[in-house]
A and B are shown apart, each in its own frame.
Chain A
Amino acid sequence: MLSYVFMKILEARPASYDRRIDRVDGGRSRAARQAVQARVADGSRVLEIGCGPGTLARSLAQRGCTVDAFDANRAMIEEARSQAGDLAGDLADHLHFRFMGVDGMDRYQAGAYDAVVSTLVLSELSDDERHYALGHVARVLRRGGLLLLAVEVPPTGTGARALHALARAPAVATTWLITGSSTRPVQHLRDDLAGAGLVLDDWSQNAGSALAVVVAHRPEEA
């Protein structure tokens, strides 16, 4: 459950990011990514927040989706573009990667997307950035469109939370010394979603786990 802290270190090597984080967390983030992917309908128009090396975006493109994706890590975007170039046929034409942070989300058209997806990104954002991003998610989704998140949150249960906080501290310190940054479990995601005008549909989180798969949608009527 501490592996998501270490992803800040793994981000330094985009080409091997997926393989390494798989090894560190025993495949849990891959499973979460697949769970997110499974909820996206074939042929959808998708926006991905924090796409990393573009693994999820490529999978979605192979299912006929058109994906706009961005990441604040330039090396990740370069890796994503490079790997997209290796795709067969015209699949790369369905992928649009952009180097930017969430502050650039105002460039995307209102109501243009069937789904917005994001895996292990919200815990890297400040509170202001998260609120801003979710506000724009609600704006760019079409009515009824889905927000699909894999997100680091505090485990359920007081004991598990305390244990998690205690065990997390050395990992945070190590990551912080190496990268000068760290992640923070998202504390009030349900409130944040409601504040952005999104309706929570599903929250999947195993007991003791700090990883949740969250589904929300933009209501039909504002």
Chain B
Amino acid sequence: MTSILRYLWGLLFRIFPCPTQTGLRRIGTPMRDSPVLVTCNFDLTLRRLRRALRGIDAWLLVADSKGVNVWCASGAHELNARTVVAVIKTSGIGDLVDHRTLVLPQLAGPGVRAQAIEKQTGWTVAWGPVRMTDIPRYLEHGIDAPMRRASWSLFERLDTALGSLFPFLLCGALGFALFGRGLLVDYVVVAALAFVGFFTIIPWVPGRLGLARALVVDLVLGGGLLLTELTLHNPAPRPRADWIIAMVLVLLYGGEVGGIASNLKSDLDPFMARLGMKKIGNVAFAGTIRTDLLNGWRRLVLDPTRCERCGACQAVCPQGVWLTPADSVARLVNEDACTGCTACLRQCHGAAIRAHRVDETAAGGRSAL
């Protein structure tokens, strides 16, 4: 029963931490040559990972991420080299295997500095795929380009959006239950339809960011409402509550969407930075490299003389921003897709990648473009 409740909590209230115990887990019947994988201590991630690894024999190190998923925890640097080193040492994994290769989730790139782990423990870091469902194939055949790229399938859209938005939708339902019971059923139906509808069509809605796409959808909805009312109640159109609710919710969905997927640019942080807001609570906006990159105030720049051709930038970027051809320095090939996660900056062996302020770049920084 507790297990089901924890699963539902993790699924529907994903914006809250849901920690599980850190340490070593055995997947199947691992041997001394079995792979050693690392993940976070977010309960839902661990449950899904166990399912994805069914039939695999592996050692799994659950590192402290304060109960948050890999992508968010590494972005906030809660999942970092220190927490991974801690679990390597306290789990005693070194006594259980004959090799020293650690497979980190690719989305840990913004937080876990591989070089620090290698220096402190002697373990070598291999970057695994973005999606846990690709791990069996990765272990069998190694990494390939599609495994490195973040996707956002319909299931992923509905799943992550539900986990992110459910608490807000629940608050809305409580509000209607208390102060507008006559509209409660309308609200629930409209919220569900708008949710499924918006996240189904969003990849094809014009606009760069989530909020812009929501505005497009709202324009269509508003136009539809006007036309319908003009047709049905001509000549005195009346606003319909359910349509208004749908439009408001679409704005909420659109505003949130940028913050929940690893392949979308965030709307909120750069917007706050533009307003001059430096932080809300402990969440910093202005001045961070990420928001500067998203606002175009900084650009990624490569110093080819420092590039060690290690390929780390390509290995950790979920957007394919970097390309490291064999025996060649890295190249910035898809800068527009950059979501500002800073994984390349953190993993670059020679500190060859920098996020230069645009004025510095213009003044003489060597751009890779």
Contacts and interface: CB of A to CB of B under 8 A. Distances in A.
Given A132-B89, A176-B17, A127 B67 contact: no
Nearest to B21: A126
Contact of A128 (B16, B67, B91): B91
Contacts of B86: 101-103, 129
Nearest to B89: A103
Contact of B92 (A132, A181, A182): A132
A124 to B, nearest CB: 11
Q: Give the residue among A126, A133, A177 with the most B Cβ atoms within 10 A.
A: A126
Contacts of B24: 128
A211 B22 CA distance: 24
B244 interface: no
A126 B19 CA distance: 11
B85 A103 contact: yes
A203 B86 CA distance: 30
Contacts of A103: 85-87, 89-90
Nearest to B24: A128
B278 interface: no
Contacts, number: 47
Contacts of A182: 19
Given A126-B22, A128-B24, A180 B90 contact: no
A106 interface: yes
Nearest to A177: B16
B68 A129 contact: no
Interface in B21-79: 21-24, 66-68
B67 A126 contact: no
Contacts of B90: 102-103, 126, 128-129, 131-133
Interface in A145-197: 176-177, 180-182
Interface string B198-209: 000000000000
Contacts of A131: 90
Contacts of A102: 86, 90
B91 to A, nearest CB: 5
Interface residues of A, number: 16
B103 to A, nearest CB: 19
B51 to A, nearest CB: 22
Contacts of A133: 90
B13 to A, nearest CB: 10
Contacts of B68: 180
- Chain B binding surface SS class: mixed
Contacts of B23: 126-129
A79 to B, nearest CB: 19
Q: Give the residue among A103, A106, A128 with the most B Cβ atoms within 10 A.
A: A128
B111 to A, nearest CB: 16
Q: Give the residue among B19, B21, B23, B90 with the most A Cβ atoms within 10 A.
A: B90
Interface in B215-262: none
A128 B92 contact: yes
Nearest to B68: A180
A209 B227 CA distance: 70
A131 B67 CA distance: 22
Q: Give the residue among A127, A132, A180 with the most B Cβ atoms within 10 A.
A: A180
Contact of B66 (A106, A129, A180): A180
B67 A129 contact: no
A162 to B, nearest CB: 15
Contacts of B85: 103
A176 B6 CA distance: 13
Contacts of A176: 17, 19
Contacts of B66: 180-181
Interface of A: 101-103, 106, 126-129, 131-133, 176-177, 180-182
Q: Rank and list the top 9 A-B pairs by shortest CB-CB distance, nearest first.
A: A128-B23, A180-B17, A132-B90, A103-B86, A103-B89, A126-B22, A126-B23, A129-B90, A128-B90
Given A103-B85, A126-B21, A180-B68, 17 more contacts: A101-B86, A103-B90, A106-B89, A126-B23, A126-B90, A128-B22, A128-B24, A128-B87, A128-B91, A132-B90, A177-B16, A180-B16, A180-B17, A180-B19, A180-B66, A181-B17, A181-B66
